[in-house]
């Protein structure tokens, strides 16, 4: 008798897949069940993703994540998942692990917020100009990008780089642990700032200029490619069958965009979580001088599309404030923080969420106060003032980036689709509608997990294309509409906000 049993609902066979959706603070395993063009998802396992500081460096606990993925498989087996036909992984971007000649992991991957890339961008620009890097890759300049991480390792004469035979990004690495197959995936490869969208391959000229070994870069496959099956040793260990493993849009934002319930091809999205990623979907990368000047990015998507977008710091600001207050003995729930923000005076203080000082400060509330003082504003003192400052500033930055997206794409957007865990914050959703002066359509919450599941069904032939997938999202999940309010106040705040941008 098979371990994963077929399941029928109202006489219709339920087709199930398993998605691992790994974020910067937590991971989850989700079962997706597709029945008669309706998708139901069930979270069967959730776990923290806590980075670990060792000496001078911040690392991902990659083996713990793999252990938790195994627990997810066990939970899937016990959850009567039906005929589990495949599984796939999506995660954050830019970070990598290295394998030696024997296929053994060389150390825990660095966390993108580790300080080893401080000052590295400017050093790279001295021998490879910004303009050349952008023309070859189309990627936004952030010091966390893989290109700068690899050069920092090269400069430090890191042993992992010297011994590496293969470099794999986080979902590629975890997939390798499951299958033994060393493959890269398109959407995540593009985020490295070492992939050339015009040649559709790793950029060997950039790799050579950085003094890296081209041989360590894996073959790149498109979302929806079969990438092996679970290893016999894991089958025996967990008591599971040889489940096929697929690539999806393995950068979680790529998966989230696949789940945007858009009705037309000209839509704008905001994937909202620890990071906020805002943009639109295009068929060709936008590599213009203006895109470079505005520091936009062209990341790969499903079906060979590109996500013309910009990274915005996101709810990391709020999460870090909460962590700082907790260290000081002030334990606050998110509900308590939002309630305090509702009581605070509007537009008292505003920040640019994307200044370097907010990337990984020791004390986020103090970093916010410092910015406000340096820009001639009142410093937020209370919890409510600080949280309101963050949420209003994020909403105003969303408007700023949406306007730039319209300029670069030549499109005009009637509203904004918001997906991801951040949409649970109703205050942020309403503030965003207010700032834009346009409706916000919020949902689904588990955007990246749903997109992961949909691409698996596309690969299996159960869904025809991405537009059928988006139609299924509209039919399966509730979408909440936020209409703009208080237009005059928000316009005045926006004018003040743009004056403090750096």
Per-residue pLDDT of 46-77, as tens digits, reads 999 999 999 999 999 999 999 999 999 999 98
Mean pLDDT of 11-27: 84
pLDDT digits (tens, 9 = 90+) for 237-252: 999 999 999 999 999 9
Q: Does the structure show a pLDDT above 80 at 215?
A: yes
Q: Which two tokens stand for residue 75?
A: 């939970």
- What percent of the chain has a predicted confidence (pLDDT) above 90? 92
Whether residue 3 is predicted with pLDDT greater than 90 in this model: the reply is no
Sequence-distant (6+) residues with CB within 8 A of 190 are 137, 138, 139, 197, 251, 298, 299, 300, 306
CB-CB contact of 449 with 87 (8 Å): no
Structure tokens at 195: 């992939």
Predicted confidence band of residue 13 (pLDDT cuts 50, 70, 90): low
Query: How far is 377 from 223, CA to CA, in rounded Å?
Result: 47
Distant-in-sequence, close-in-space partners of 206: CB < 8 Å, separation ≥ 6: 128, 133, 136, 137, 147, 194
**Could you read off the pLDDT of 362-372 as tens digits, one per residue?**
999 999 999 99
DSSP letter assigned to residue 251: B
Report pLDDT for 204: 97
Selecting among 252, 289, 363, 370, the annotated active-site residue is 252
Determine the Cα–Cα distance for residues 311 and 142; give it in Å rounded to an integer: 9
- Looking at residues 360-384, what average pLDDT do you find? 97
Q: Is it the case that residue 2 has pLDDT exceeding 50?
A: no
pLDDT at 278: 97
pLDDT band, residue 81 (cuts 50/70/90): low
Residue 1 pLDDT > 50: no
Q: Give the C-alpha separation, 443 to 41, whole Å.
A: 14
Q: pLDDT tens, 416-462?
A: 999 999 999 999 999 999 999 999 999 999 999 999 999 999 999 99
Q: Mean of the pLDDT values across residues 11-19?
A: 75
Does 14 score more than 70 pLDDT? Answer: no
Domains and CATH numbers, the chain: 7-246 (3.30.420.40), 260-443+464-502 (3.30.420.40)
Task: Give the pLDDT of residue 79.
Answer: 80
pLDDT band at 78 (very low <50, low <70, confident <90, very high): confident
Active site residue 252: yes
92 vs 275: CA distance, rounded Å:
10
Which pTM value belongs to this model?
0.91
pLDDT of residue 6: 43
Q: What mean pLDDT, rounded, does the chain reach?
A: 95
Q: For 433, phi and psi rounded to 5 degrees? A: -60, -40
Confidence check: pLDDT of 113 > 80 = yes
In the predicted structure, residue 338 carries a pLDDT above the cut 60: yes
Cis peptide before 444 (omega within 30 of 0): yes
pLDDT digits (tens, 9 = 90+) for 454-467: 999 999 999 999 99
């Amino acid at each position: 008798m098979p371990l994963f049993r077929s399941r029928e609902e109202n006489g219709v066979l339920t087709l199930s897949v398993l998605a691992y959706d790994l974020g910067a603070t937590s991971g989850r395993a989700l079962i997706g069940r597709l029945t008669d063009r309706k998708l139901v998802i069930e979270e069967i396992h959730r776990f923290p993703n806590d980075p670990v500081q060792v000496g001078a460096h911040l690392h991902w606990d990659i083996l713990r994540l793999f252990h938790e993925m195994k627990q997810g498989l066990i939970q899937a087996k016990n959850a009567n998942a039906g005929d589990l036909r495949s599984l796939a992984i999506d995660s954050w971007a830019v970070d990598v692990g290295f394998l030696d000649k024997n296929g053994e992991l060389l150390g825990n991957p660095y966390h993108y917020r580790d300080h080893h890339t401080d000052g590295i961008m400017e050093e790279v620009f001295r021998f490879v100009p910004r303009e050349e890097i952008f023309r070859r890759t189309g990627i936004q300049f952030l010091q966390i990008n893989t290109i700068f991480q690899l050069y920092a390792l090269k400069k430090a004469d890191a042993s992992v780089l010297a011994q590496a035979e293969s470099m794999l990004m986080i979902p590629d690495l975890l997939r390798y642990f499951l299958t033994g197959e060393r493959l890269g995936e398109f959407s995540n490869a593009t985020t490295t700032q070492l992939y050339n969208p015009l040649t559709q391959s790793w950029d060997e000229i950039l790799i050579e200029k950085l003094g890296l070994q081209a041989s360590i870069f894996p073959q790149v496959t498109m979302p929806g490619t079969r990438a092996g099956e679970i290893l016999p040793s894991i089958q025996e260990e967990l008591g599971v069958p040889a489940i096929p493993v697929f690539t999806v849009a393995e950068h979680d934002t790529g998966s989230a965009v696949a789940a945007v319930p858009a009705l037309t091809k000209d839509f704008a999205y905001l994937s909202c979580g620890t990071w906020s990623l805002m943009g639109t979907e295009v068929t060709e990368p936008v590599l213009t001088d203006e895109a470079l000047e505005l520091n936009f990015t062209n990341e790969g998507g499903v079906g060979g599309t590109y996500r013309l977008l910009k990274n915005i710091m996101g709810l990391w600001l709020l999460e870090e404030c909460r962590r700082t207050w907790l260290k000081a003995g002030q334990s606050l729930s998110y509900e308590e923080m939002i309630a305090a923000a509702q009581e605070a005076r509007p537009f008292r203080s505003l920040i640019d969420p994307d200044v370097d000082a907010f990337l990984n400060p020791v004390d986020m509330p103090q970093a916010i106060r410092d910015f406000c003082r340096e820009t001639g504003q009142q410093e937020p003192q209370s919890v409510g003032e600080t949280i309101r400052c963050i949420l209003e500033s994020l909403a105003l930055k969303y408007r700023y980036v949406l306007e730039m997206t319209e300029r670069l794409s030549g499109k005009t957007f009637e509203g904004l689709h918001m997906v991801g865990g951040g949409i649970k914050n109703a205050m942020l959703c309403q503030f965003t509608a207010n700032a834009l002066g346009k409706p916000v359509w919020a949902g689904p919450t588990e955007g990246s997990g749903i997109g992961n599941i949909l691409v698996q069904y596309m690969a299996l032939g159960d869904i025809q294309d991405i537009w059928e997938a988006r139609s299924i999202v509209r039919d399966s999940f509730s979408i909440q509409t936020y209409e703009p309010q208080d237009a005059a106040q928000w316009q005045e705040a926006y004018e003040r906000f743009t004056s403090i941008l750096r």
